[in-house]
Amino acid sequence: MDKPGKHQILRSAASLGLVAIIGTTLLTGVDHITADRIAAQERRVILEQLGQIIPPQRYDNELQDDRISLRDERYFPNGQAVTAYRARQQGQPVAVILKFAAVNGYNGNIQLLAGIEADGRLAGVRVVSHKETPGLGDAIESEKSDWVLGFDGRTLNDPAPTGWAVRRDGGEFDQFTGATITPRAVVEAVHSALEYYEQNRELLFSPAEESAGNAAP
């Protein structure tokens, strides 16, 4: 067989390079589309769940647009950006819905929404996304069990601070059979969000233009 010439080798190398570039570009494109789809799907879920926590007839502002982003490591660890959606009726505070993560789940972060009434009562908690094990940790989803409804109407003092834990740890919230880590993470994170609310109520309800300076990007 003839030895390939220098030009032929260069042509083959160029073709291979081209294939690699096209492949990488296609993969990057697919990645972008997938990320966009996930973001759009998450937005749909959030809108639907915001409505479950605070029904639209209770406020007259654009809830999903009247929001600020904040960070506070003491209450929301791992440098997470928290979103606060503010519900108002004729400019008066009705409730705030915080989107944040419980960071001590069995399989990483559990994205939560917690609605807190202006008086500090929990309007409701919902799980936006998680990677907990099906059949074990996923009972935190409202579609799978009523467990998450156990937060409805709770406050920082109901139960008393020691009660803000799963029963296994001496608290008032049920764990699941064979799965304590997931509910423990959610209870701790929701309690922390209530503590944040108590300390930052003014900031949370401040008008968008005022709060922007205090909020993280």
Ligand X SMILES: Cc1cc2nc3c(=O)[nH]c(=O)nc-3n(C[C@H](O)[C@H](O)[C@H](O)COP(=O)(O)O)c2cc1C
CB distance 102 to 189 below 8 Å = yes
Q: How many residues bind ligand X (CB under 6 A)?
A: 11
Which two three-digit tokens encode residue 128?
Answer: 């936006």
Least distance to ligand X, CB of residue 190, Å: 16
Task: Provide, rounded to whole angstroms, the least separation between the CB of residue 141 and ligand X.
Answer: 12
Among 175, 192, 206, 211, contact with ligand X (rule: CB under 6 A) = 175
Dump strand ranges (E) for the chain: 67-70, 82-89, 92-105, 108-117, 122-129
Q: Residue 111 interacts with ligand X (CB under 6 A)?
A: no
Smaller CB distance to ligand X: residue 59 or 173? 173
Q: Computed over its alpha carbons, how large is the radius of gyration of the chain? A: 23
According to the binding rule CB under 6 A, does residue 181 interact with ligand X? yes
Nearest-approach distance from CB 112 to ligand X, in angstroms: 15
- How far CA 22 is from CA of 14, 25, 31, 100, in Å, comes to 12, 5, 14, 38
Shortest distance, CB of residue 153 to ligand X, whole angstroms?
A: 25
For ligand X, which stretch binds (CB under 6 A), given 22-30, 69-77, 85-93, 176-184? 176-184
User: In this structure, what are the phi and psi dihedrals at residue 56, rounded to the nearest 5 degrees?
Assistant: -55, -30
Sign of the C-alpha dihedral computed for residues 189, 200, 151 and 98 taken in this order: negative
**Looking at 7-15, 17-25, 48-56, 173-181, which segment touches ligand X (CB under 6 A)?**
173-181
Residues that bind ligand X (CB under 6 A): 106, 132-133, 136-137, 175, 178-182
